[in-house]
């Protein structure tokens, strides 16, 4: 992993690489882009999927106490009335009477001075601006058809609590995990995909007996911090920060954030919150349904308390990119390489015939056919081999497999390692086990 901390120059380089190599494009770019909205290109969609798969693997696949869910994005107002989002999910907005710009009051360096025109005392009284996207379900646009795009995936989990309990045979402590899009009409977007209006979250609600909340909170803080380290972010770029009491969300009795050292300072990747019994109690009250647990061993009924690790997939993807970006001098030239954890790398292997001649591309495609069922592969026969290696380095591809004319004789290929650039000659027959051994599942 690179030694340096992310700085402004590195930020620009990563954003530039994302555009140039097909990770992330501004949305509706041919129309001038659309308000901090981004599209994930051929490489970005693989990286983002791998980030989500890595989370799912750790949170669902490798555990027997957590199940998955995929709830709807569109939801009725009743959900958000109960959750408190309609009343409290808002930011304070002020307008400058002098230049007409709008700002989040809680983000101003000096709450009396407009950062755009410098005028003092020009702000209007703050107004609470609700961050939820409102729409209408069905053809009639009236109050009865109002619906919201979810601003977090968590509520879909709480409203399905009874469904999951009744069908999954899980008992506290157990969790429900969900990955999906969330929408917030953020006032200040920016820093590339750090804060966008449409983004993806990876959230898990862990239901525990009431007294056990604090213990599980400690457990999940440690566990989630370790996940980022295990996936290649150096510890010095990560920290856990506990919220001051005045920062806490309306549902939380304690929150710690996993933060990453972005070029502009520490920024949240994930919030781990003790949501207590707030959500289940509110939904039980508002819906009239019982949302509790009967513990047969002790003969008691209780509303489980909830510990929630809530991460952003898109924001986290950006942190992984910044941590992985590296440049080094190789024979007088600068080599750019993404030292991504193998599990996250968009392509695991690139197959590169040395020449475009059919006598090489035919066998190269055969090798590709052997690898594709097992690994996500790229195939590239254009340009000089050096430039193709450089491209794969910039995509973070751990291994390049090159076929040359000797391969036709010895039925072997050259395998080049992304990080060390070491090359091994490997028999085609041995290639799958060779790569399997080196690529973590
Ligand atoms: P922030 O303080 O940055 O607004 P938050 O505390 O409101 O974030 P949570 O509600 O805890 O965020 O959401 C969990 C995670 O979802 C965040 O840690 C972040 O990674 C991600 N996230 C939240 N808002 C956005 C956004 N507008 N764009 C991208 N990711 C986001």
CA of 166 to the centre of ligand 1 (A): 31
pLDDT at position 1 is 62
273 CA: nearest ligand 1 atom: 11
Ligand 1 neighbour 186 (Cβ under 6 A): yes
Ligand 1 neighbour 314 (Cβ under 6 A): yes
CA of 116 to the centre of ligand 1 (A): 26
CA of 423 to the centre of ligand 1 (A): 42
234-238 long-range contacts, Cβ below 8 Å, gap at least 24? 234/1, 234/323, 236/5, 236/261, 237/5, 237/6, 237/261, 237/323
195 CA: nearest ligand 1 atom: 28
Q: Are the CB atoms for 310 and 182 separated by under 8 Å?
A: no
pLDDT at position 135 is 96
Supply 28's token pair: 């509706």
The residue contributing the CA closest to ligand 1 atom 13 is 310
CA of 85 to the centre of ligand 1 (A): 15
pTM over 0.85: yes
**Per-residue confidence in pLDDT tens, the chain, 441 aa:** 666 677 889 999 999 999 999 999 999 999 999 988 999 999 999 999 999 999 999 999 999 999 999 999 999 999 999 999 999 888 889 999 999 888 889 889 999 999 999 999 999 998 888 999 999 999 999 999 999 999 999 999 999 999 999 999 999 999 999 999 999 999 888 899 999 999 999 999 999 999 999 999 999 999 999 999 999 999 999 999 999 888 877 777 789 999 999 999 999 999 999 999 999 999 999 999 999 999 999 999 999 999 999 999 999 999 999 999 999 999 999 999 999 999 999 999 999 999 999 999 999 999 999 999 999 999 999 999 999 999 999 999 999 999 999 999 999 999 999 999 999 999 999 999 999 999 977
313 CA: nearest ligand 1 atom: 20
Ligand 1 neighbour 184 (Cβ under 6 A): yes
pLDDT at position 2 is 66
Using CA atoms, how far apart are residues 152 and 158, in angstroms rounded to an integer? Answer: 11
Closest C-alpha among 429, 378, 428, 419 to residue 398: 419
pLDDT at position 249 is 77
Supply 328's token pair: 């080094």
Ligand 1 neighbour 182 (Cβ under 6 A): no
The residue contributing the CA closest to ligand 1 atom 24 is 195
CA of 312 to the centre of ligand 1 (A): 6
CA of 196 to the centre of ligand 1 (A): 9
In degrees, to the nearest 5, what angle opens at C-alpha 192 toward C-alphas 186 and 197?
Answer: 25
What is the residue-wise DSSP string for 342-365? TTT-S-SEEEEESS-SHHHHHHHH
Distances (CA, A) of 28 to 31, 34, 37, 47, 194: 6, 6, 8, 21, 19
What is the best residue among 89, 179, 199, 260 to mutate for testing ligand 1's pocket, by most ligand atoms within 8 Å of CB? 199
For 128, residues 6+ apart whose C-beta sits below 8 A from its C-beta are 90, 91, 92, 93
CA of 58 to the centre of ligand 1 (A): 21
The residue contributing the CA closest to ligand 1 atom 8 is 268
CA of 61 to the centre of ligand 1 (A): 25
Largest CA distance in the chain: 81
Ligand 1 neighbour 269 (Cβ under 6 A): yes
Ligand 1 neighbour 14 (Cβ under 6 A): no
CA of 241 to the centre of ligand 1 (A): 15
Coil vs helix vs strand at 186: coil
pLDDT at position 247 is 81
311 CA: nearest ligand 1 atom: 15
Ligand 1 neighbour 312 (Cβ under 6 A): yes
What is the best residue among 203, 271, 313 to mutate for testing ligand 1's pocket, by most ligand atoms within 8 Å of CB? 271
Using CA atoms, how far apart are residues 431 and 357, in angstroms rounded to an integer? Answer: 23
What are the φ and ψ backbone dihedral angles of 394, each rounded to 5 degrees? -75, -20
Eight-class DSSP state of 132: -
Distances (CA, A) of 337 to 13, 69, 334, 344: 12, 36, 10, 14
The residue contributing the CA closest to ligand 1 atom 25 is 195
Helix runs in 271-355, H state only: 278-287, 313-324
197 CA: nearest ligand 1 atom: 27
249 CA: nearest ligand 1 atom: 6
Ligand 1 neighbour 201 (Cβ under 6 A): yes
Q: Are the CB atoms for 426 and 402 separated by under 8 Å?
A: no
CA of 386 to the centre of ligand 1 (A): 41
Ligand 1 neighbour 381 (Cβ under 6 A): no
Is residue 352 packed enough to be buried (19+ CB in 10 Å), middle (13-18) or exposed (0-12)?
Answer: buried
Supply 340's token pair: 């991504």
């Amino acid at each position: 992993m690179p030694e340096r901390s992310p700085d402004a120059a590195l930020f620009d380089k990563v954003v530039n690489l994302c555009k140039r190599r097909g990770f992330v494009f501004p949305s509706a770019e041919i129309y001038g882009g659309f308000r901090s909205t981004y599209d994930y290109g051929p490489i970005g969609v693989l990286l983002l999927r791998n980030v989500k798969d890595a989370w799912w693997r750790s949170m669902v696949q490798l555990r027997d106490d957590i199940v998955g869910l995929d709830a709807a994005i569109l939801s009725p107002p009743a959900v958000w009335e109960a959750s408190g989002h309609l009343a409290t999910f808002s930011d304070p907005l002020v307008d400058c009477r002098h230049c007409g710009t709008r700002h989040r009051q809680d983000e101003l360096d000096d709450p009396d001075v407009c950062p755009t025109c410098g005028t003092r005392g020009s702000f209007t009284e703050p107004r609470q601006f609700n961050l939820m996207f409102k729409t209408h379900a069905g053809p009639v646009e009236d109050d009865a058809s109002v619906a919201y795009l979810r601003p977090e995936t968590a509520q879909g989990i709480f409203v399905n609590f009874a469904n999951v309990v009744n069908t999954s045979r899980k008992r506290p402590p157990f969790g429900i995990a969900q990955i999906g899009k969330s929408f917030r009409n953020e006032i200040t977007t920016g820093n590339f995909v750090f804060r966008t209006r449409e983004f993806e979250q990876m959230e898990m609600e862990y239901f525990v007996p009431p007294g056990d909340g604090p213990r599980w909170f400690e457990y999940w803080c440690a566990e989630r911090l370790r996940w980022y380290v295990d996936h290649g972010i150096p510890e010095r770029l990560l920290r856990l920060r506990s919220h001051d009491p005045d920062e806490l969300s309306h549902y939380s009795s304690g929150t710690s954030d996993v933060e990453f050292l972005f070029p502009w300072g520490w920024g949240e990747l994930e919030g781990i919150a003790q949501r207590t019994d707030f959500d289940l109690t509110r939904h039980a009250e508002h819906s009239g349904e019982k949302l509790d647990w009967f513990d047969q061993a002790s003969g008691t009924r209780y509303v489980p308390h909830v510990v929630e690790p809530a991460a952003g997939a898109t924001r986290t993807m950006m942190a992984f990119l910044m941590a992985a970006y590296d440049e080094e001098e190789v024979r007088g030239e600068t080599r750019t390489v993404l030292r991504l954890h193998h599990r996250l790398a968009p392509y695991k292997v690139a197959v590169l015939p040395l020449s475009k001649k059919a006598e090489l591309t035919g066998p190269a495609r055969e090798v590709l056919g052997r690898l594709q069922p097992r690994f996500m592969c790229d195939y590239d026969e254009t340009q000089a081999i050096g430039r193709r290696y450089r491209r794969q380095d910039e995509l973070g591809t751990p291994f390049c497999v090159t076929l040359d004319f000797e391969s036709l004789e010895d039925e072997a290929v050259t395998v080049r390692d992304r990080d060390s650039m070491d090359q091994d000659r490997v028999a085609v027959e041995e290639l799958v086990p060779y790569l399997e051994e080196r690529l973590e599942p």
